[in-house]
Amino acid sequence: MLLTFFRTIILYILVLIVMRFMGKREIGQLQPFELAISIMIADLATIPMAEPGIPITSGIIPILGLLVMHLTISLINLKSIRAREIICGKPSILIYRGKIQEDKLKKERFTINELEERLRDQNIFNIGDVEYAILETSGQVTVIQKPNKRTTTPEDFGIMPEYEGIAYDLVVDGKIMKENLKKLGKNNTWLANQLKPYKLKPEEALIVTIDGKGNFFCQAKQKRDN
């Protein structure tokens, strides 16, 4: 029983490491070869977990082999456009200049109802508002709306917004994010001084952030009743 427990932990850590090496894509963004490898890795890991009589190396070696296979295919995809098209396929235009491409729908075995469902996922409820709809190799649908239906931007009005930058976490759950302070060229003393107007100490904060304009957001931890 104890052996099975440790075997499970080892295989779990191995799968976690392998998936980390495979990148940070979401499930819906995986290419077909990546999805196939992910499924196979999961199956290979469960066999030694469920069967103590099977050597743990019977799961480890094939998993590492699949990792090598994934890295090799990824490298080939980077080097060759032709190989990329063969392995991953090419995007298909389902709607072109506002017109549904029936032949492409049939080729991809995509129904009108499925297309409308994908559009609703992107808050588009009228198929007539779409200029282009492209089925990506990952299975996601990229949509470009007609010019008169698109959300306006400051550029449309000749406005140039100020640069905002990104927000940094300075304190999370009472712990100072020293790396972020370092990026800003600040230190703990500076942080403590900035929190004084809020009558807050870093260790008392649930969250403290600063945006690109120097604006702070602070919230204290909830006090626990004794």
> Is the confidence at residue 11, as pLDDT, over 70?
yes
Q: Name the domain count of the chain.
A: 3
**C-beta neighbour count of 70 within 10 angstroms:** 20
Structural domain for 128, as ranges = 92-149
> Is the confidence at residue 224, as pLDDT, over 80?
no
The answer to whether position 158 is within a domain reads: no
Residue 74 CA to residue 173 CA, distance in Å, equals 39
Residues 183, 204, single domain; the answer is yes
CATH code for the domain of 143:
3.30.240.20
pLDDT computed for residue 191 by the predictor = 94
Q: Is 134 helix (H, G, I), strand (E, B) or coil?
A: strand
Residues 9, 73, single domain; the answer is yes
pLDDT computed for residue 1 by the predictor = 64
The answer to whether position 156 is within a domain reads: no
The answer to whether position 187 is within a domain reads: yes
Express each pLDDT in 36-58 by its tens digit. 888 888 888 888 877 777 888 88
The answer to whether position 163 is within a domain reads: no
The answer to whether position 122 is within a domain reads: yes
Express each pLDDT in 129-183 by its tens digit. 999 999 988 788 999 999 888 887 788 888 887 777 788 999 999 999 999 999 9
The answer to whether position 56 is within a domain reads: yes
Mean pLDDT computed over every residue of the chain: 86
Residues 107, 53, single domain; the answer is no
Residues 174, 190, single domain; the answer is yes
> Is the confidence at residue 195, as pLDDT, over 70?
yes
Its pTM stands at 0.63
Residue 38 CA to residue 22 CA, distance in Å, equals 9
**C-beta neighbour count of 36 within 10 angstroms:** 14
